[in-house]
């Protein structure tokens, strides 16, 4: 079956612009997670959805970052007024139930802010 | 603040060598420890989910052990092959079960 997919695979944008990153989880997975990996670091948690609601958004760095999952499937991570420090690989993962069940990752979107 | 440490940061071995990496994590409020392998331009691939103290899991030439009392896990690769070249990440599940806290990873390079 299909795994987690993310689009685009690469995104280059100018400082100050708005970007949207998309994640298609594995069908039937109720939990969805966003992480980002900056250069030289491990992936860092951003937000966790259970169904349509954000159950834990404690990892979002500031109010320029926002994520939605309106129908409990596809999720979009939105970044306003991008900064060079936002450059990273943004990873999405899904799991069957959340709360400790195994997370399956997509290939990531590499965001470069120039 | 939860901190997951991995060592070494990088490792270069010859084909056929056996190797091991270390992951250390907070020993209090333990829920689960995950190991992932991440090859360049691919998705991180789950290797093991470990929950019980003393757990030992094996998948082909790769195995892992867990000590929750002292807060460490070892990943072993027996007879390394070039296709084992990747970054190996360990992650500690937070108490709420909502997020994985990752280490920086160990990057393995295997030469033929």
> To 5 degrees, how large is the angle CA A73–CA A42–CA A87?
75
Helix (H) / strand (E) containing B36? strand B33-38
- What backbone torsions phi and psi does residue B47 show, to the nearest 5 degrees? -100, -55
Query: Angle CA(B73)–CA(B90)–CA(B111) in degrees, nearest 5?
Result: 95
Identify the burial level of B14 via C-beta atoms within 10 angstroms of its C-beta, where 0-12 means exposed, 13-18 middle and 19 or more buried. Answer: exposed
How large a percentage of chain B has pLDDT more than 70? 99
**Cα–Cα distance between A68 and A45 in angstroms, integer?**
16
In this model, does residue B76 exceed pLDDT 80? yes
Burial of B93 by CB count in 10 Å (0-12 exposed, 13-18 middle, 19+ buried)? buried
Mapped onto helix, strand or coil, the DSSP state of residue B82 is helix
Summary mean pLDDT of chain B: 94
| B46 touches A at CB < 8 Å | yes
- The band of A10, judged by pLDDT with boundaries at 50, 70 and 90, is very high
Per-residue pLDDT tens digits for A84-97: 999 999 999 999 98
CB-based contact A100 B99, cutoff 8 Å = no
Query: What pLDDT score does B30 carry?
Result: 87
To the nearest whole Å, the CA of B42 is away from the closest chain A CA by 5
**How many angstroms separate the CA of residue A23 from the nearest CA in chain B?**
13
A8-17, A93-102, B47-56: least confidently modelled range: A93-102
Closest residue in A to B88 (Cα–Cα): A42
Other CB atoms within 10 A of residue A40 CB: 8
pLDDT, tens only, A46-67: 999 999 999 899 999 999 999 9
What's the confidence (pLDDT) of residue A1?
Answer: 56
- What's the pLDDT score for residue B1? 61
Does the pLDDT at position B10 exceed 90?
Answer: yes
Instruction: With a cut of 90, say whether residue A99 has pLDDT above it.
Output: no
């Amino acid at each position: 079956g299909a795994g987690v997919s993310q689009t685009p695979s690469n995104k280059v944008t100018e400082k100050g612009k708005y970007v949207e990153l998309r994640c298609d989880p594995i069908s039937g997975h109720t939990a969805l997670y966003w992480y980002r990996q900056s250069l030289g670091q491990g992936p860092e948690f951003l937000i966790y959805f259970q169904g349509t609601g954000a159950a834990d958004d404690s990892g979002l760095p500031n109010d320029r970052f926002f994520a939605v999952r309106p129908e409990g499937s596809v999720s979009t991570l939105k970044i306003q007024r991008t900064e060079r420090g936002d450059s990273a690989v943004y990873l999405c993962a899904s799991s069957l139930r959340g709360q400790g069940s195994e997370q399956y990752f997509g290939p990531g979107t590499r965001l470069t802010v120039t | 603040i939860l901190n997951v440490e991995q060592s070494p940061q990088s490792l270069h071995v010859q084909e056929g060598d056996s190797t091991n990496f270390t992951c250390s994590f907070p020993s209090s409020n333990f829920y689960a420890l995950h190991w992932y392998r991440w090859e360049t331009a691919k998705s991180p691939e789950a290797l093991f989910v470990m929950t019980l103290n003393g757990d030992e899991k094996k998948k082909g030439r790769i195995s892992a052990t867990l000590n929750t009392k002292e807060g460490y896990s070892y990943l072993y690769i027996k007879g390394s092959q070039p296709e084992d070249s990747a970054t190996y990440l360990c992650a500690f599940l937070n108490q709420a079960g909502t997020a994985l806290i990752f280490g920086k990873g160990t990057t393995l390079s295997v030469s033929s």
